[in-house]
Structures are given as C-alpha cells and as structure tokens.
Amino acid sequence: MDDEAVIGWDLGGAHAKAALVDGAGRLRHVVQMACPLWQGLDRLDAAMEAVLMQVGHGVRRHAVTMTGELADLFPDRSAGVRALAEASARRLRGSEVRIYAGPMGFRQVEEVMVYSRQIASANWLASATVVARHCGEGVLVDVGSTTTDIIPFQDCEPCHKGYTDFERLHCDELVYTGVVRTPVHAVAERVPYEGEWRPLLAERFAVMADVYRLTGDLPEGVDMAQTCDGADKGMEASARRLARMLGRDFAPRDLELWRELARFLGHEQLIRLQRAVARVLSCGLVAADMPIVGAGAGRFLVRQLARCLHRPYVDFADLVTGADELREWAAVCAPAVAVAQLFHETQA
C-alpha cells in the first residue's frame, strides 16, 4: 500500500462513509456502509471493519470527520465526539489518526475535548473548502439522506454565517430534510387526493426514499436503511407505505395515483430547498452567474434547483480525480473524499 495514501472517514448517525486517496491525490476507493449508531457503538466498529475489508487494512493514515455525535446514544455532543474519536482510534490502532476540527485543522485524538465544538458536525466545511478551491465562487448544496447543507463560497473560501448546527439551522445553511430517511409528514402536512386536500398522518409509515423510488429518481444503492414496515423496497411496497400515510390501502390498479402523489411530495421538498437557497443567496455574496455545486444522494434535486434559479450546475463528481464509477459515489460521500484530500494536502 502507498505510504502516502489516506482514508477519509465521515462517521454519521446512519452511515459510515470512507474514501481512499493515494499519494498522488487520486481517488482509489469510496464506500458507504450502514451504521445505525443509535443501536450502539458496536455498529460503528462493524461498519469500519467492513470498510477496511474492502479498502484494505494496510493504509496507515486516517482523517476523520463526523456527524454521528448527534445520535441519542450519547448524552451530549461533546460526549459523542469523544466516543467516536476514541472508537475510531481503537479500530485503527497502529495508524496515524487525525480528527477534523474545521478552522483548527486536524487534531490528535487526545485533543478532541478541547476542540469538540469545532469537531462536531463539521463535515460540511471539509466539502465546502475543497469545492471553493476548485470553483472560486458559488454555492455548495449537499442533499443527503437526512439533511441538506447549503454553503456559499467566495474568493476560494467558504463564507458561511453559521458554524454549529444551531447557528446553521437559524440561517438556512442547514435544512433538516433529505431524500432517504426524512419522514413524509415532515415534508407536507396535507396532499391533494381525490380532488380534496387530505391531511397526512403524523406517523413514520413512509419516508422520502419511498417517494423517490416511486418517481424513479432515487439513485441505486443509496438507501441502506430498513423500510418503515420491514417489507421490501419495490415499487408496490413503497406505494403501500405511502398510501398508509393517508389511512388508505394500496391496490395495484392505483399505482399511478400514488406515483403522482409522490411527484407532488418531491416538488414540495424541492420548494423548501429552493426557499433556503434563495435566502442564502439573498446575502449578496455570490454573483448571479456563479454556479450551484451539487453533492449528496439527492443531487438530482440540486440539478433541478439550479434550473429553477437560472444558475449553472456543477457536479461534485466532476471535481474529483479518479475513475468514473468512483467519482459518482464520491459525490454521494463528498465529506469523506474532502477530508481525505485536505489531510493529504497538509502532509504534502
């Protein structure tokens, strides 16, 4: 294994993502594993081991960023940061492990309690920093399975207003909506059905992965979560779960009706994101002809956003050096790729 190779890790509450960058800065591997952290730290250990089985145990340099400290497994964010950093160091023992702390750079595991505020949920900044260096000016929109990050950048640097989740939620740079795990009733309170506006049940009977399977937009392989009812992820099963949100039963003859409803829900989510991006753009930091850069499992929504806002679209995949099939997944796992590249640059 290349002595200068780096694995970048993005440890989330539902997924562990990893990217291998070689000594020349070229992407060699990228992978996402299911990691339901709320079920216990052993899930992280298993996910990291599964990644290493694919990528290789011989890599000795690792850069870690995280959002999993928000899992309700931990009493608070600082405890989560410490637990994830220490768990990573145990799994990667014998290797050089550094934790990404945003503006404070890469820190040793022993320092995480000093920099826990900068470490917690800073993965978006790694992605924005790499994108800004490539594109100079624009807005990065990373639509993931659970959340969306909206980060303006100018003069090759991110120019965000908020840093913590609390601050970023306040200024719409973080929107808690995604294309896989978001419950349908968090996107709309009522929907058009049989010529009337019908309320949705406040139950987690269906999620947006069901919606985007019905519209045909959900990229293959990005949904690693169990379905709400434990059934399969086929078209009819997805429609059955969506019908349950209205207190109705699914009949195969009505599939097109539920697909039409799914298109409405997708449009509602797009409108919410468009409003958030418009608010960020209204600060006047990004010129009208500058692009929107798309990342995440929901890049198909970012492309639509760019069209709606009459701006050029740039895909994160096009900013990565590597094989085509790797670059597509690199866009889904952008923070893991970014943190690997940033750590590689600090060691160059």
292 lies in a domain? no
150 lies in a domain? no
pLDDT tens-digit readout, 162-188 = 999 999 999 999 999 999 999 999 999
Domain harbouring 20, CATH code: 3.30.420.40
Look at residue 348 in the predicted model and tell me its pLDDT: 62
29 lies in a domain? yes
42 lies in a domain? yes
Q: 68 — phi, psi (to 5°)?
A: -70, -10
The total number of structural domains in the chain stands at 1
In the chain, the N- to C-terminal Cα span, in Å, equals 17
Contact 27, 80 (CB under 8 A): no
Contact 6, 58 (CB under 8 A): no
Low-confidence ranges of the chain (pLDDT < 50): none
37 lies in a domain? yes
Q: 178 — phi, psi (to 5°)?
A: -145, 180
Contact 227, 233 (CB under 8 A): yes
48 lies in a domain? yes
Look at residue 152 in the predicted model and tell me its pLDDT: 98
Look at residue 1 in the predicted model and tell me its pLDDT: 60
Count of CB atoms within 10 A of residue 343's CB? 25
276 lies in a domain? no
Q: Domain range holding 72?
A: 6-124+319-347
339 lies in a domain? yes
Structural Rg of the chain based on CA atoms: 20
